[in-house]
């Protein structure tokens, strides 16, 4: 978790910090092939040089950014989990539970869909 330590320390609310840390640790353990990095002041994960998923925080929620194509593909699943979304992100309110099965599907999709991607973004 050293990659994300400085970012996490800046989250003032300890419950919020712990929730995001739990998500990041889950990804690190579930997908050890992913590279944890900080880019654009956001914790994110890459695979073979291409973007997979990123996170940012606000007072009200965690913003999850898996790229537009993923939001379109999983919009119904995102809504079913009780999360709001735009075409670029979905929001997990701090009070909402984390739908790890949704995160797993999204990350697996991006890894497979971008297997031959030679660029950072789609």
> What CATH number should be reported for the domain holding residue 95?
3.90.1150.200
In a domain? residue 57: yes
In a domain? residue 15: yes
Asked whether residue 1 carries a pLDDT value surpassing 70, the answer given is: no
In a domain? residue 95: yes
CA gap 89, 75 in Å, rounded: 10
- Give the total number of structural domains in the chain: 1
Q: Residue 122, SS3? A: coil
Give the closest residue to 103 by CA, choosing from 28, 35, 49. 28
91 vs 1 pLDDT, higher one? 91
Confidence tier at 2 by pLDDT (50, 70, 90)? confident
Of the CA atoms within 13 Å of residue 61, those in its CB half-sphere come to 14
pLDDT tens string 14-67: 999 999 999 999 999 999 999 999 999 999 999 999 999 999 999 999 999 999
In a domain? residue 116: no
Other CB atoms closer than 10 Å to residue 122's CB: what's the count?
A: 13
Mean pLDDT of all residues belonging to the chain: 96
CA gap 7, 30 in Å, rounded: 21
In a domain? residue 50: yes
In a domain? residue 91: yes
In a domain? residue 122: no
pTM of the model: 0.94
Confidence tier at 96 by pLDDT (50, 70, 90)? very high
In a domain? residue 55: yes
Tokens describing residue 28: 């690190």
Contacts (Cβ under 8 Å, ≥6 apart) of 5: none
**Residue in the structure block whose two tokens are 């119904």:** 76
Give the closest residue to 121 by CA, choosing from 61, 39, 49. 49
């Amino acid at each position: 978790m050293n990659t994300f330590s400085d970012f996490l320390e800046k989250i003032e609310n300890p419950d919020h910090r712990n929730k995001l840390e739990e998500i990041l640790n889950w990804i690190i353990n579930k997908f050890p092939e992913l590279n944890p990095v900080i880019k654009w002041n956001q914790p994110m994960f890459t695979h073979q040089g291409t973007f997979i998923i990123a996170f940012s925080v606000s007072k009200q929620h965690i913003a999850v950014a898996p790229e537009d194509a993923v939001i379109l593909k999983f919009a119904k699943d995102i809504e079913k989990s009780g999360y709001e979304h735009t075409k670029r992100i979905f929001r997990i309110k701090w009070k909402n539970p984390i739908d790890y099965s949704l995160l797993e599907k999204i990350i697996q999709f991006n890894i497979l869909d971008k297997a031959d991607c030679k660029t950072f973004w789609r």
